[in-house]
Amino acid sequence: MTKNLKIFVDCHVFDESFQGTTTYIRGLYQELIKDKNKHFFLASNDIEIIKNIFGEADNIHYLSYLSPNKFYRLLFDIPRLIKKHKIDYAHFQYIVPPIKHCKYINTIHDVLFLDYPEYFPLLYRIKNKFLFKWSANFSDVVLTVSEFSKQRIQHHFGTKAITITPNAVDTVFFEPYDKGAIQKQVQSQYNLKNYWICISRWEPRKNHHFILEAFIQNKYYEKYQLVFVGDKAIPNPKFNMLYEGLSKEIKDQIIILNKVNFTDLLLLLRGASLSVYPSVAEGFGIPPLEAVAAQVQSICANTTAMSDFHFFKFTLFGPFDLADLKNKIEWALNHPVNPELSKIVSQKYNWKSSASGFLKALNHLS
């Protein structure tokens, strides 16, 4: 590959709430920027946010968008910046600009809205089916994060060449810590003690109501608190109806946190007694792996991309089988975390490996 290659990265997602695409871009490019023979042009509306993540280096260049409007960004801002800085490759998530001045890299994380339409608004499905397919066909390199997503993208869009660059677990999750000290800090900061955690943004497919139902039926609220961490995306009427029907005493044991930064997210995860991830459908599903890396016992739904997490063994459950969920909760509460799981996750899901796959895809195109 040519030295001094210029790669533009659309980082507008860092201007918004914390989500899977921010984790993906942060982890992938923190690894890629180590190569000083390549120059990276990172663009967003608030460049101070991404500067704090990627730091300062001779091969890192920060660019500011003129407008936060997504249409202006795609139609005018990005083509202008690409042309001005003579970019070789530009990397986007899902949707690419229609005006093309360089080769496009596009990561399509999933097409779940096509396989599980009942969980997504009609307009969202119509709009994104067209935009995602058009973007895939207009791109020179198409990436995705799991074998499941690759197969579904190929099925729906007919895209043949897709490279898998899996999400990986940040090394900070593997760092040792004092559980007792962390729990005291969480109690002081959040007034939480002996709690479970569910980290996921709010959508019906994320199945929050499922874990709430088990929490209520088995009266776990008598001993534990249930903490939901994630920003609101699509309303979940089932959860709202169930929650609103609870007594004040039970509601006090259920804590819902939005807009949590990464530092506090890590703190809350480390302090938890149990991590629960009941999502029906995922293109990848990183929170269960982060929990295992942090030595927090984790139970996880066994569908879509998460079926690849076969090493979870006794803690996978069917996302519609309440009896199965309850059994896995009981098993998890009575068994310590297997330290070998953390090693498996570290070996299988790391950014060095994903960055290598990324570069191979570019080399193949060159």
Chain segment 22-44, per-residue pLDDT in tens: 889 999 999 999 999 999 999 99
Provide the whole-model pTM: 0.88
Stretch among 2-16, 120-134, 244-258 having the lowest mean pLDDT: 2-16
Rounded CA separation 60/193 (Å): 42
Is residue 2 over pLDDT 60?
no
Cα–chain center distance at 239: 22
Q: What is the pLDDT of residues 90-105, one digit of tens each?
A: 999 999 999 999 999 9
| Tens-digit pLDDT profile for residues 173-199 | 999 999 999 999 999 999 999 999 999
> Domain-by-domain residue ranges, the chain?
5-168+350-365, 171-348
Collapse the DSSP code of 202 into the 3-class scheme (helix H, G, I; strand E, B; otherwise coil) and give the result: strand
Give the least confident one: 74-78, 186-190, 312-316.
312-316
Q: What is the pLDDT of residues 230-239, one digit of tens each?
A: 988 888 999 9
Mean pLDDT of 113-139: 96
Predicted pLDDT of residue 100 = 97
- Over residues 205-255, the pLDDT tens digits come to 999 999 999 999 999 999 999 999 998 888 899 999 999 999 999 999 999
Q: Determine the CATH number of domain 5-168+350-365.
A: 3.40.50.2000
The pLDDT value recorded for residue 1 is 52
pLDDT of residue 18: 64
Tell me if 5-168+350-365 shares its fold with 171-348: yes
DSSP annotation string for 205-242: GG-HHHHHHHHHHTTGGGT-EEEEE--B-S--HHHHHH
Task: Look at residue 40 and give its three-state secondary structure.
Answer: strand
In tens, the pLDDT along 265-308 reads: 999 999 999 999 999 999 999 999 999 999 999 999 999 999 98
Average pLDDT of the chain, as a whole number: 94
Q: Check if CATH label 3.40.630.30 holds for domain 171-348.
A: no
